[in-house]
Structure 1
Amino acid sequence: MTLFETRPITVSIARPADQVYAFTHQPESFPKWAAGLGAGLTRDGDRWIAHGPDGDVHVRFSPQNPYGVLDHWVTLPDGTELSMPLRVVANGDGAEVTLTLFRAPGMDDATFERDQGLVAKDLAKLKALLES
């Protein structure tokens, strides 16, 4: 059995969870706060193409659901698929948004730490967008 090292990265947002989910479940909203998806997304059937600095990647999103699940899967140009578990859960009148970051095989400590910082920055941008 293989288990990857993970880091849950969470931000509290002072907006009702249903409003946070309503914004974030739309693939078109991701480029507004998720820098890793580059300049935007183009729909391609049941998946999306993100145009990033390292080339195009394909992205699949979880279907809309009542559970706050916003999982998405990113397929890199070399065919590697990355799972991005993302959740919105109620916290009183607000919401918690958590992305579980997996450490890829062979990823060094510095890169894993850098990726954690990038995710935290993205979630902070989401918070700022939704609380403004």
Structure 2
Amino acid sequence: MTYVYPSKTLSITVESPPKEVYEYIFAVVHFPEWAPCFCKSIRQSGDDWLVEAPEGLVKVRFVERNEFGVLDHSVKLESGQEMMIPLRVIPNGRGSEVVFTLYQQPGVTDDMFAKDAGMVESDLRNLKTVLEGAGKKRL
């Protein structure tokens, strides 16, 4: 039996070109800067990235580099549970729309899901600040 998870799609407009936004996110070493709610530290291990996250040490693996703005990635928890995280950079005029879909996993209460969504929103705001603000000089 296939289960359909409740989901919430979150997005933010970033006044930076899609290619620049895509390349910044694809360079996973930037995670601690723009996604501190998810990533406290990161290091590479083979094809995976090991992220110190609130849930503990997780493995993150992105899809291959592509021209479509797709930044989907899998997150594997220490428990062995694996989730696919859809993430896209879509052209929006001269800027970009960053779109993140969050799925409510089994065992996650509505309150926990709302908290997770709030953390994603905070990280997306950080991304916008970095790419539009003083942090842009570091790209």
TM-score category (smaller protein): over 0.9
Give the CA deviation at 1:83. 1.3
Going from structure 1 to structure 2, the CA distance change for 1:39 and 1:107 (only over 3 Å counts) comes to closer
Corresponding letter in the other structure for 2:99: T
Cα deviation code 1:10-51 (max 9, x no counterpart): 000011111111111111112211124432211111111112
Q: Distance in 2 between matches of 1:40 and 1:106?
A: 26
Aligned to 1:60: 61
Cα deviation code 1:97-130 (max 9, x no counterpart): 0100001012111011111100000000000000
TM-score (norm 1): 0.94
Q: What is the DSSP-based 3-state SS (H/G/I as helix, E as strand, rest coil) of the residue aligned with 2:108?
A: coil
Moved more, 93-102 or 48-57: 48-57
Identity %: 38
Q: Distance in 1 between matches of 2:128 and 2:55?
A: 26
Would you say the 8 A contact 2:55–2:77 is kept in 1?
A: no
Q: Distance in 2 between matches of 1:122 and 1:39?
A: 12
Cα deviation code 1:27-79 (max 9, x no counterpart): 11122111244322111111111123442111111111101011111111111
Corresponding letter in the other structure for 2:72: D
- What does residue range 30-109 of structure 1 map to in structure 2 within 5 Å? 30-109=31-110
Q: Which consecutive segments of 4 or more residues in structure 1 shift more than 4 A?
A: none
Q: What is the DSSP-based 3-state SS (H/G/I as helix, E as strand, rest coil) of the residue aligned with 1:35?
A: coil
1:112 aligns to 2:109 (yes or no)? no
Would you say the 8 A contact 2:38–2:54 is kept in 1?
A: no
RMSD value over aligned CA atoms?
Answer: 1.2
Corresponding letter in the other structure for 2:30: S
Would you say the 8 A contact 2:14–2:97 is kept in 1?
A: yes
Q: What is the DSSP-based 3-state SS (H/G/I as helix, E as strand, rest coil) of the residue aligned with 1:32?
A: helix
